Every structure is written in structure tokens, then in C-alpha cells.
Amino acid sequence: MKNVIKDLIKTTIPNQFRTKLRQHYSLYSFFGFKHKCPFCNSNLKSFLPHGLNFPVLKKKEVVAAGFRENVLCPKCGSYDRERLLYLFLIKKTKLLRQQTKLLHVAPEDKLVGLLNNQNNIDYLTADLLRKNVMVNMDITDIQYPDNSFDAIICNHVLEHVPDDQKAMTELFRVLKPNGWAVLQVPISYKLDETFEDESIVKESDKEIFFGQEDHVRIYAADYFERLQSVGFKLEIFDWRTDLKDFGGEKNLFGLNKNEKIFFVTK
Ligand SMILES: [Zn+2]
């Protein structure tokens, strides 16, 4: 019977409509009430699995990296880490309520549309190489004066930057006094100290040792000391201590249970 329907669809529906039909069918197959995407409000049975599969990520239990279940929204494509960041920004900061000059480095696609449309946000997106940002910026040499921004979002960037100390110093410099930043990185709590080795340069070796072809280290908990060493005050926020705002015990929003928010202030 299934094949008969398949053949009927093949012979009667033009190709471009078949693609649409397939998308709708696959969305339908994810429909459920266990999870909800805070970006597109879809009710879902589950999110899609996603992530790189390099053994080092699993062996070192690198949080916010590696293959995991329940990551990608089948409707809008949001990632678990974007959903956590979004919820954190709206629940735990005044970003949407206060006049804010915001620097967003390597901006997460789902957030750009949202933040760009906020009247209270003077928004600057930046990236070293990407073209779909407002300015190209090397975060080890930022082209803005001291105390320029009320807030900075710079996630999953520092693990790509060889001189991360310089980058942190620059981010601290351009942040206004009392300003805040979210500086997420993949991190392993199994490592005693951050693993980095300048002699590892080949992409295939970086995949083996760092878990991604363009990473230059795997951070350990000493990441926090690095942040504090340039002057930041650090608060680590664990969403599981605030289940009311973050989707409850059943993890409605499909967040990574081990991911914490690294929130710094100047
Ligand atoms: Zn979604």
C-alpha cells in the first residue's frame, strides 16, 4: 500500500511540490508535546541529533561539542546552545529592556534576526572572515576605543584564536565599566588544564587532538582563571538551578544538561 501511494505521488505530483510535501511530512513526523522550540514555537516529539563525531570529544567529554541527541530544531534549525543563550538573554539579562550597545561576534543566525529588530539595541555584528556581518573584526585587535560596548556576545570563538589572552584583553578593553559579556567555549571538565599545542597545525591533526579542524585548544576549568586574569568578574550560570525559567525537569526546550553560561562583567 505504501509503495502504491509512493508511486502515485511520483507520477502525479511535480518534483518541486514533492520536495515541499516531504518537508511537511518530516515536520509532521516530529510533531509532539515533549519539547518546544523557543525560537519558532514548534511543538516537537524531539529535536534532531547533531554534532561532530571525533573520538577526542567523547573521550574528554567536551561540553557543547561532539555528537549529541536532541540538538537541532527540525523546523527552524536552532541549536541547543542557541536556545540556551536566547533563554538566558531574555530571562537573566536586561538586553531586551534596556538601551544597549551590543557587540555580537560570530553571531548565531537565529539570534541576529531577533536582536537586529530590537529598537533598544544599537547592534553591531562582527566576524573575522564572514561576509554576512556588519564589520570584519580581529578580536585580538579590535578597531573600537576603550569602553565602547554595554554588552558583548562572543560564543565559540576563543577556541579558534591562537592568542586567546590577547582576545580576552581586547574584549575587556572595549566593554564599558559595569558592562557584561557571554563568552561560551566548548570545555572539558575531565582535563586538569587546557590542552593546546602550537605544533599541531594540520587540519586532520586538529580534528584528532582538538575535535575540530579549526580549533587550537580544548579548554579545561582553568578557562575561568584566564577570564579573571584579564580583569573580568565571572559568574557561572547553570540553567538546571533555575528550572522554572528554563523548561523544567523534562527539559522542554531541549537544552544541553551539561552546558553552563559563562557570564562576565567589568
Ligand atoms: Zn525552531
Domain ranges in the chain are 85-265
Q: Give the mean pLDDT of 143-151.
A: 98
What is the percentage of the chain residues whose pLDDT exceeds 70? 89
The burial class, CB within 10 Å (0-12 / 13-18 / 19+), for 65 is buried
C-alpha cell at 245: 525559567
Please give the distance, rounded to the nearest whole angstrom, from the Cα atom of residue 44 to the centre of ligand 1.
Answer: 9
Q: Give the mean pLDDT of 134-140.
A: 97
Please give the distance, rounded to the nearest whole angstrom, from the Cα atom of residue 215 to the centre of ligand 1.
Answer: 28
Please give the distance, rounded to the nearest whole angstrom, from the Cα atom of residue 41 to the centre of ligand 1.
Answer: 6
Please give the distance, rounded to the nearest whole angstrom, from the Cα atom of residue 239 to the centre of ligand 1.
Answer: 20
Angle formed at CA 105 by CA 101 and CA 106, multiple of 5 degrees: 145
Please give the distance, rounded to the nearest whole angstrom, from the Cα atom of residue 102 to the centre of ligand 1.
Answer: 24
Residue 156, Cα to own-chain centre: how many angstroms?
A: 7
Per-residue pLDDT band at 23 (split at 50, 70, 90): low
Q: Could you tell me the fold of the domain covering 85-265?
A: Rossmann fold (3.40.50)
Give CA separation, 187 vs 214, 219, 221, 224, in Å. Answer: 16, 5, 7, 11
First and final C-alpha spacing in the chain: 65
pLDDT of the residue at 233:
98
Please give the distance, rounded to the nearest whole angstrom, from the Cα atom of residue 52 to the centre of ligand 1.
Answer: 21
- For 30-40, the pLDDT digits (tens) are 888 899 999 99
Residue 152 has pLDDT above 60, yes or no: yes
Please give the distance, rounded to the nearest whole angstrom, from the Cα atom of residue 264 to the centre of ligand 1.
Answer: 28
Residue 207 sits at φ, ψ, to 5 deg, of -60, -40
Residue 174 has pLDDT above 80, yes or no: yes
Please give the distance, rounded to the nearest whole angstrom, from the Cα atom of residue 243 to the centre of ligand 1.
Answer: 20
Please give the distance, rounded to the nearest whole angstrom, from the Cα atom of residue 74 to the centre of ligand 1.
Answer: 7
pLDDT of the residue at 57:
85
Please give the distance, rounded to the nearest whole angstrom, from the Cα atom of residue 112 to the centre of ligand 1.
Answer: 15
Sign of CA dihedral 210, 211, 216, 222: negative
pLDDT of the residue at 67:
86
Please give the distance, rounded to the nearest whole angstrom, from the Cα atom of residue 119 to the centre of ligand 1.
Answer: 24
Q: Give the mean pLDDT of 158-185.
A: 97
Q: Give the mean pLDDT of 223-234.
A: 97
pLDDT of the residue at 12:
57
Q: Give the mean pLDDT of 163-174.
A: 97
pTM (predicted TM-score): 0.88
Q: What is the mean pLDDT of the chain?
A: 89
239 or 51: which carries more pLDDT confidence? 239
